[in-house]
Structure 1
Amino acid sequence: MDTLYLSLLTRDQVDAAVALDRQCLGGLWTEDGYLREIDSPNSTLLALTAAAADGETSLAGLGCLWMILDEAHITTLAVHPAQRGRGLGQLLLTALMQAAWQHQMHWATLEVRASNRAAIALYQKFGFTDVGLRPRYYQNPEEDALILWRRGLQEPDFSDTLRQWWGWVGDRHRQHGWNLIPAQSPTQEEAGDLGFSAIPLDIGIFS
Structure 2
Amino acid sequence: MSLPDGLRLRRAHPQDLDDVMWLEHASFPTDAWSASQMSGELYSPHGYYVVVETTDDGAPTIVGYAGLSSLAGNPVADVQTIAVAADQRGRGIGRVLFTELLDEARRRGVHEVFLEVRADNPVAQAMYTAFGFERIAVRPRYYQPDGVDAWVMRAELSPATSRPGPIGQETLDEHR
The bucket for the TM-score relative to the shorter chain is 0.7 to 0.9
In 1, the alpha carbon distance for the partners of 2:171 and 2:42 equals 22
Residues 186 and 6 from structure 1, CA distance in 2 versus in 1: closer, same or farther, beyond 3 angstroms? same
Counterpart position of 1:76: 81
Counterpart position of 2:98: 93
1:55 aligns with 2:40: no
Counterpart position of 1:185: 170
Let me know the Cα RMSD of the aligned residues. Answer: 2.6
Q: Deviations over 1:155-174 (max 9, x none)?
A: xxx64xxxxxx9xxxxxxxx
**Number of equivalent positions:** 168
Assess if the C-alpha contact under 8 Å between 1:6 and 1:183 holds in 2.
Answer: no
Q: Deviations over 1:25-70 (max 9, x none)?
A: 2353222222211221111111111122x33421110100110421
Amino acid at match of 1:4: L
In 2, the alpha carbon distance for the partners of 1:140 and 1:84 equals 25
1:40 aligns with 2:44: yes
Residues 90 and 144 from structure 1, CA distance in 2 versus in 1: closer, same or farther, beyond 3 angstroms? same
Residue aligned with 1:137, SS:
strand
**Unmatched runs of 5 consecutive residues or more in structure 1:** 160-165, 167-180, 190-203
Residues 188 and 86 from structure 1, CA distance in 2 versus in 1: closer, same or farther, beyond 3 angstroms? farther
Amino acid at match of 1:116: N
Residue aligned with 2:58, SS:
coil
Counterpart position of 1:199: none
Which residue among 21, 26, 40 is the counterpart of 2:24? 21
Assess if the C-alpha contact under 8 Å between 1:107 and 1:153 holds in 2.
Answer: no
**Unmatched runs of 5 consecutive residues or more in structure 2:** none
Amino acid at match of 2:10: S
Q: TM (normalized to structure 2)?
A: 0.84
Once the two structures are aligned, what percentage of the paired residues are identical? 30
Assess if the C-alpha contact under 8 Å between 1:65 and 1:74 holds in 2.
Answer: yes
Amino acid at match of 1:46: V
Counterpart position of 1:10: 13
Q: How far 1:139 sits from its partner (Å)? A: 1.8
Counterpart position of 1:193: none
Q: TM (normalized to structure 1)?
A: 0.73
Which residue among 108, 112, 127 is the counterpart of 2:117? 112
Assess if the C-alpha contact under 8 Å between 2:11 and 2:167 holds in 1.
Answer: no
Q: How far 1:184 sits from its partner (Å)? A: 5.9
